[in-house]
Structure 1
Amino acid sequence: MCHSSRFSFDETRTLSTDQTWRITANPLAWGNAEPEILILGFSKGPSQAGELQRLPHNEIPYRKGRKQVGKILAHVGLLRAADPEELRGLVDQAIANTQGRFGWGSLVRCTVERFDGKTWVGSGGMIDEFMKHEFGKRISRACATKFLRNLPHRTKLVIMFGLGAKGSYVSAARRAIEAARPGTWRTVNEVAYTDGQITVVHVEHFASQGANIPNWLGQNIHPRSKLGLMAREAVSFGLASLNENTSKSAC
């Protein structure tokens, strides 16, 4: 277990041995508990930590990034094309829909923060640093084991926000998931991998800075656009597996 057996929601914290990282015990999820498609961020961010008990449940995830979430999901074919405001509304509806096709959560279900020498922060190049740290490796594998090892049979596609520098988060997340789900894993393309039961696809992070999101979306001529196209292709691959499974169930 990551925390002691007795903990208080959104209050109990566990620190790394060098006291540079900490996680706050506040695991949450949204949408359908048995989704066709599971959508995962990295962890709840700084705009959420410490506020969870006062916020309505469905307002918590992706609080300041739902337009970008909508753009990204539309780009890979999981939401219909629409203007940003409509896309935000579609994300609002999908998060609140407990009978829909989507489930929502994070790879690390607790809030992750690091000490920058003065205070605890929850953003700014965290993913790569956390996943390289021994504490981060242990926590991410524990979460993957608890929440991803025994997914519902109908869950065939996992979307993960974040790529990391030169694909570092893709590699680190894959190691955590492979450790949690022993099997025969293979590479689909540069941003996706599968064990034959689920396909994991990494997309641009919804809080990515600068021109990363427009570049990934193909709005600019940029090499990052290739990663967006790869994600779209991998989603199509995963959806084909999902549709095949649905057809067999109907027979």
Structure 2
Amino acid sequence: MALPSHGYIACRRCLPGTDAQWEFSNSDGSRWCLENSPAAFGATSPGVLVLGFSKGVNQSKAGLAFDGIAFNGMRKQLAAILQSLRLLARPIDDCIRVGEQRLGFGSLIRCSVAQWDPQKEKYSKSGNAILQKFAKGDLTAQVAKNCVERFLRDLPDRTKLVVLLGNEARYIEFCREQVGRARGEARAVNAVSYDSMGVRFVHVIHAKAQGALVPDWLAGRNSQQEKRRLAVEAVDAQLAGHPYLQEAV
């Protein structure tokens, strides 16, 4: 079993017809747009899989070289987060490329998600609590179900740790529910992590979180103090059981 190879993925499971995007509304009236652009980066049988939410504005820029897409505009922050977990000792650009053996990268929603902003009268791919709002809807939940079933249900035997960006409580519970349905179990380890069939899923601060949230998480202070402690504990315990997951600094 392997994840999709580094490159774009042929998947139209969510989109009706042959259109490149799908505009839809949840039963709560929230409006969304899904742009068909699923992709995978890095290792196909990674020890550690790192997942954002979906491609934002910076990752959807026209003319961007493929190897520059994943986490564009937030790689410095992502590298600091992974380094603090003892999961990264090399330049992150060297890992998000074809031929990488240890780390895999992608997003929970492999296509690009945008929510309707009524004030600006256009779709927005970031901000305004997009993760939390996505987690509340019925059709958005179906989109997540499709992605989790295809890309997380059957993971490579080598994959023992999945790091997810986004540690707001509702988003964590939403992801845990989706993983549990797809994989048959998702047993809570602590408030930011859960285990499923030998794989540990750990939620950390999103690398593009607003304000001081990323520095606070990295320093373990304010509202992020307990969340960081729990994430580090969950990762450390998994590293102890599977030493190959750790990249010595």
What's the TM-score, normalizing by structure 1?
A: 0.85
Partner in structure 2 of residue 249 of structure 1: none
Counterparts of 1:69-84 in structure 2, within 5 Å, are 69-80=78-89
Partner in structure 2 of residue 86 of structure 1: none
Q: Describe the SS at the equivalent of 2:163.
A: strand
Identity %: 33
Question: Distance in 1 between the 2:241 and 2:34 partners?
Answer: 35
Specify which of 57, 60, 65 is matched with residue 69 of structure 2.
60
List per-residue Cα deviations over 1:129-168 (Å, max 9, x = no partner): 011111211111110000001111111100000012xx11
Partner in structure 2 of residue 121 of structure 1: 124
Query: How far is 1:244 from its partner?
Result: 8.7
Segments of 4+ moved more than 6 angstroms:
none
Partner in structure 2 of residue 21 of structure 1: 32
Specify which of 44, 53, 62 is matched with residue 42 of structure 1.
53
Specify which of 163, 167, 185 is matched with residue 163 of structure 1.
167
2:183–2:197 contact (8 Å) kept in structure 1: no
Q: Describe the SS at the equivalent of 1:67.
A: helix
1:181 aligns with 2:183: yes
Question: Distance in 1 between the 2:17 and 2:151 partners?
Answer: 18
Partner in structure 1 of residue 234 of structure 2: 234
1:36–1:242 contact (8 Å) kept in structure 2: no
Q: Describe the SS at the equivalent of 1:224.
A: helix
Question: Distance in 2 between the 1:128 and 1:232 partners?
Answer: 23
List per-residue Cα deviations over 1:45-96 (Å, max 9, x = no partner): 0223352xx221110011100110011111111124xxxxxxxx71111112
**5+ residue gaps, structure 1:** 81-88, 246-251
- Between 15-24 and 152-161, report the one with greater CA deviation: 15-24
What's the TM-score, normalizing by structure 2?
A: 0.85
Q: Describe the SS at the equivalent of 1:21.
A: strand
Counterparts of 1:124-203 in structure 2, within 5 Å, are 124=127, 125-164=129-168, 167-183=169-185, 185-203=186-204
Instruction: Count residues with an aligned counterpart.
Output: 227
Question: Distance in 2 between the 1:35 and 1:116 partners?
Answer: 37
After superposition, the Cα gap between the structure-2 partners of 1:3 and 1:241, relative to the gap in structure 1 and judged at 3 Å, is farther
Question: Distance in 1 between the 2:41 and 2:238 partners?
Answer: 21
Question: Distance in 1 between the 2:111 and 2:181 partners?
Answer: 19
After superposition, the Cα gap between the structure-2 partners of 1:5 and 1:236, relative to the gap in structure 1 and judged at 3 Å, is farther
Give the structure with the larger strand fraction. 2
Question: Distance in 2 between the 1:240 and 1:138 partners?
Answer: 35
2:164–2:204 contact (8 Å) kept in structure 1: yes
Question: Distance in 1 between the 2:54 and 2:84 partners?
Answer: 23
Q: Describe the SS at the equivalent of 2:39.
A: coil
1:38–1:159 contact (8 Å) kept in structure 2: yes
Q: Describe the SS at the equivalent of 2:96.
A: helix
